[in-house]
Amino acid sequence: MAEIHGTCDERFTGVRDVLADNLDTGLDVGASVSVVLDGKPVVDVWGGVADAETGAPWERDTIINVWSTTKTMTFLCALMLADRSELDLYAPVARYWPEFAAGGKEGVEVRHLMAHTAGLSGWSPAITLTDLYDWEKATSVLAAQEPWWEPGTASGYHAVTQGFLIGEVVRRITGQSLGTFFAKEVAEPLGADFHIGLPAAHDARVARLVTPPDNLGDAAAEDSIAHRTFASAPFGAEVAWTTDWRRAEIPAANGHGNARSVARIQAVLACGGEIDGVRLLSAAGCERVFDEQIHGTDLVLGVPLRFGMGYGLNSEELPLSPNPRTCFWGGYGGSIIVIDLDARMTVCYVMNRMESGLVGDMRGASVVFAAYAGLAAG
């Protein structure tokens, strides 16, 4: 059996066993798993190798690009501003970002950005990879364009655009970039090792992603919203190996951390806004997550999704939890974070071997189900 490092409460040994089995069978190359219950870590384990080419082991402080799991950090920042009455989630985006009213978007509200219903799942005209590293360019194109469908009527996964859209609203309100606001207001107070825009000092700790066999949108029909979305700023997963990608702030896609840091940060939400004496949200502020915005087949991902204020919500189609007050999201290739306010539990799985697609796979789901089995057995 694969060697698993870290600590694991006896109730949750099934979680550790899932990670070991994934590594033994080759489903995983290197990964970390964390479960936080009532604000305290009950599972903090890792194993495998961080770099399949060199064989360097996955260590306690190994971090990796978690792709869209980053979005949960962006949502948290917006929810914090809403809790402070600095941001009205039901206000027009143009209240904070006047240029955004162009292209008939004067009625698009902040909540539409949060729930992928703004009709801005890609850029028009299309931009380049280099443009993604230019905040002003990436946001100004979005501000000028027209929506691709009637805002508020359907979700269409804003895979990369969402971070720029919410991030610009945060910047207009606070005068700080999303990455800077997150570092000062979230990561540093919690002592959490998560970064949106990675400083060079951390490069040596970054695991090397094992990229999937195909790129985003490869299977989409050319006349679809999905194809248009991914063709509007094309790149492959190997971009995560580059310095330019790490240094940029792409708040929907390039956060770097591990299961421990993701689970700790999102445990604030699970625990009513406070953990270890650090309060980021009021209890009422946490409940905003469950303000359902849309429930139906996503125009980009092609699967039924139920979105609250940012986060995906537990649903019959994606029953990740037995508890209704549960939200989640995951990242390209397989990472996942599940936040259960009823159980006051967060479960996170982060890995380097990517599967194809954006809607997760059984590796992360198996970790989540094992955590619930341990909870029920306790």
Print the domain residue range for 208. Answer: 4-377
Give the Cα separation of 16 and 2 in Å (integer): 10
Percent of the chain with pLDDT over 90: 94
What is the pTM assigned to this prediction?
0.97
Kindly report each contact of residues 173-177 with a partner whose C-beta sits within 8 Å and lies 24 or more positions away, as own/partner: 173/81, 173/86, 173/87, 173/96, 174/81, 174/86, 177/135, 177/249
How many separate domains does the chain show? Answer: 1
SS3 assignment for 104-155: HCCCCEHHHHHCCCCCCCCCCCCCCHHHHCCHHHHHHHHHHCCCCCCCCCCC
Residue 350's pLDDT is 98
Let me know if 315 is a catalytic residue.
no
Residue 218's pLDDT is 63
Beta strands 4-8; 30-37: pairing state: unpaired
- What's the pLDDT tens digit per position in 169-218? 999 999 999 999 999 999 999 999 999 999 999 999 999 999 998 766 66
pLDDT tops 80 at residue 1: no
Output the six-digit token pair for 356: 């194809």
Residue 55's CATH number: 3.40.710.10
Q: Which of 32, 34, 68, 155 is catalytic?
A: 68
Residue 359's pLDDT is 76
User: Can you tell me the mean pLDDT for 116-126?
Assistant: 98
Say if residue 356 is exposed, middle or buried (CB neighbours under 10 Å; 0-12, 13-18, 19+). middle
- What's the pLDDT tens digit per position in 57-82? 999 999 999 999 999 999 999 999 99
Of residues 281, 169, 282, 298, the one with CA closest to residue 229: 298
Sheet containing 336-340: give its strands across.
4-8, 40-48, 30-37, 345-351, 336-340, 326-330, 312-313, 304-307, 294-297
Sorted by sequence, the CB contacts under 8 Å of residue 94 that are 6+ apart come out as 100, 101, 105, 106, 108
pLDDT tops 60 at residue 25: yes
- What's the pLDDT tens digit per position in 210-264? 999 876 666 566 789 999 999 999 999 999 999 999 999 999 999 999 999 999 9
Residue 84's pLDDT is 98
The tokens 């929810």 sit on which residue? 79
Residue 54's pLDDT is 96
Backbone angles phi, psi at 348, to 5 degrees: -130, 140
Whether omega for the bond prior to residue 125 falls within 30 degrees of 0, making it cis, is yes
